[in-house]
Amino acid sequence: MTNTGSQSSQRPPELRRGAKEVSVGHGLTGLLWTDVRAQLSAPARQHLRATLPPVAVRAFTATTEQYWQNWLSDENLDRLSGLVVVVDSAGLPVAWVASNERRFGGRRCFYANSAGVHPDHQGAGLSSTIWRALLRSAIVKAAPHKLYAVMRTGNPLVYGAWSSATGRSDATWPAPGAEVPEHVQRIAADVAADLGQAERLDRRTLVITDAYDDTETGLWTSRPTSDRADVDEWFETILGPRDAIVLVVAFDPVRIMLGEARRTVRRTLGLRGPTSRSSRSRT
């Protein structure tokens, strides 16, 4: 859905040029670039370099603004296949997600390159909303084959959100007490090699030792927590402060499209979905 109106006109024109506006709610605007090399203009890049690093260090407390200036270099930006930046009425970023379309382990993969939310806007579902803007088109492109979303992360909140996104308990690796299939190990090995960290990957656990070696203490002064105590405890058990896992999540486009079609029909007919009652019971 595209946002229009007076609020949109307040966004800096140098940032809006080449971007599609997507609805994110909360009085904010999401700006989407699906071909970053071609669509993200030089003035927009300059605006992001001036405004995003101060937000990023609030989200990742052990990093520096220089770390994010490096991330926003032309070389890194041009590798991105997708970027969404959420801005307030003054054009200041409050959240972002970035992705690459890659092939790892011989499989089509959606690589979740980076994501962050300013602390004042955390907990409102903003990150998952803008991830869907990038992931939706990638899933459609992959059909009828599976799409593997992959990322390096040490954040249990990220793990919980992505592992629940498919609605299945057997489509996320690694998982406590579960073996990692060989094809997933191959995906993770290619990811680690792409990051220059192949020798640090334990293929059995998908843990990369010293994954964040360009900071002294990792990304956070204190690791974030999720709403799942078991996942938080598991992360503390398997990861050191600078360690990460290669998270692999499988999305089945056909299953997802059928599920969306069923929900559309039920809404059209005014039928209550099977999750409505269970959702209320958890509140």
CA distance 88 to 228: 31
Which residue would you say has higher pLDDT here, 262 or 82? Answer: 82
Residue 124 has what pLDDT?
82
Residue 9 has what pLDDT?
44
When pLDDT is cut at 50, 70 and 90, the band that residue 262 belongs to is low
When pLDDT is cut at 50, 70 and 90, the band that residue 78 belongs to is very high
Mean pLDDT computed over 157-165: 88
Is the pLDDT reported for residue 35 higher than 80?
Answer: yes
CA distance 147 to 256: 11
Name the 3-class secondary structure at 173: strand
Mean pLDDT computed over 189-213: 96
Mean pLDDT computed over 5-22: 69
Residue 128 has what pLDDT?
86
Taking alpha carbons only, the member of 119, 129, 138, 126 closest to residue 222 is 119
**End-to-end CA gap in the chain:** 29
DSSP code, position 179: P
When pLDDT is cut at 50, 70 and 90, the band that residue 276 belongs to is very low
Phi, psi of 71 (to 5 degrees): -65, -30
Contacts 24+ apart (CB under 8 A), 15-18: 15/43, 15/44, 15/47, 15/48, 15/85, 15/87, 15/91, 17/41, 17/43, 17/44, 18/44
Is the pLDDT reported for residue 44 higher than 70?
Answer: yes
What sign has the CA pseudo-torsion 173, 275, 252, 81? negative
Q: How many CB atoms within 10 Å of residue 225?
A: 15
Residue 45 has what pLDDT?
95
Token digits of residue 56 = 């990023």
Is the pLDDT reported for residue 26 higher than 80?
Answer: no
Mean pLDDT computed over 128-138: 87
Confirm if 161 and 128 have CB atoms less than 8 A apart. Answer: yes
Taking alpha carbons only, the member of 281, 272, 215 closest to residue 242 is 215
Which residue would you say has higher pLDDT here, 14 or 108? Answer: 108
Residue 84 has what pLDDT?
96
Is the pLDDT reported for residue 283 higher than 50?
Answer: no
CA distance 61 to 16: 28
Name the 3-class secondary structure at 69: helix
Confirm if 126 and 26 have CB atoms less than 8 A apart. Answer: yes
Average pLDDT, rounded, for the chain: 85
CA distance 133 to 204: 32
Selection from 83-92, 126-135, 195-204 with the highest mean pLDDT: 195-204
Share of the chain above pLDDT 90, in %: 58
Torsion of CA 67, 110, 210, 235, to 10 degrees: 110
Residue 172 has what pLDDT?
96
Q: Regarding the domain delimited by 1-99+113-142, which CATH topology (the fold level of the hierarchy) does it fall under?
A: Aminopeptidase (3.40.630)
Which residue would you say has higher pLDDT here, 89 or 32? Answer: 32
Residue 234 has what pLDDT?
96
Domain ranges for the chain, please list them.
Answer: 1-99+113-142, 145-268
Half-sphere exposure of 132 (CA within 13 A, CB side): 13
What sign has the CA pseudo-torsion 197, 240, 229, 58? negative
pLDDT digit string (tens) for 172-182? 999 999 999 99
